[in-house]
Homo-oligomer: A and B are copies of this chain.
Amino acid sequence: MGLTPAGERVWDVAREIFYQEGVRSTGVAEIAERSGVGKPSIYRAFGSKDELAVAYLREKGVSPQEIVETVRAAYPGDPRAQLRRVVAEIAEAIAAPGHRGCPLANTVVEFPDRAHPVRVAAQEQKQRYLELFTELVEPLPLADPGQVAYLIQMLVDGAHITSQVFDAGRSAAGLVTAVDRLLDTFIDQEESDVH
């Protein structure tokens, strides 16, 4: 997307502020000030604060196909390692300094109105995360892959929340071990033994 120099600065600053301070809490004037830009530049580049927020959320989303492809190439024929790799990277991000939970979940919470376009955009991107986990567990010998993917999504979201309230490192480590152990209990032993 062709942005003007002022638009670029706004985009860089807005992504950072929206994540660190929240979408709702952040005023357009603050974005303008920290970008060294006038407010009209923001509206010329993005139309409205909501549209800027939607762009921010879309960038925070993932592409299931892309990630699955990458991880399949890294661990061919080993779906368990593929999933472990994705979960490990999420855990790493959670433990990293400056992390403030899942930007998508945070935005959903910040916008209680289910019809609000910003919330809708956040939910759309979150749906893609669930699709990612669904595709990752699909090759595993599971009776109900959808359920397992949903549980992984729950653990990821839970780690993101607890990392903001308690200890991020503990949340990250807990996420990895919980997914691993939970998966063990769901893997269908008979089929996996066939091999």
Chain A interface residues (CB < 8 Å from chain B): 20-22, 24-25, 100-102, 105-106, 108-113, 123, 126-127, 130, 147, 150-151, 153-162, 164-166, 170-171, 174-175, 177-178, 181-182, 184-186
Contact = CB atoms under 8 A, between A and B. Distances in A.
A151 to B, nearest CB: 5
Contacts of A102: 161
B150 A174 contact: yes
Task: Indicate how many identical chains form the complex.
Answer: 2
Nearest to A156: B158
B175 A109 contact: no
A150 B170 contact: yes
B112 A20 contact: yes
| 8 closest cross-chain pairs (CB), A and B | A158-B158, A154-B158, A157-B161, A157-B158, A109-B109, A181-B185, A22-B112, A106-B109
A178 B108 CA distance: 24
Contacts of A126: 165-166
B161 A161 contact: yes
Contact of A25 (B112, B157, B166, B171): B112
Contacts of A130: 166
A108 B130 CA distance: 24
Contact of A162 (B113, B157, B177): B157
A104 to B, nearest CB: 8
A20 B127 CA distance: 23
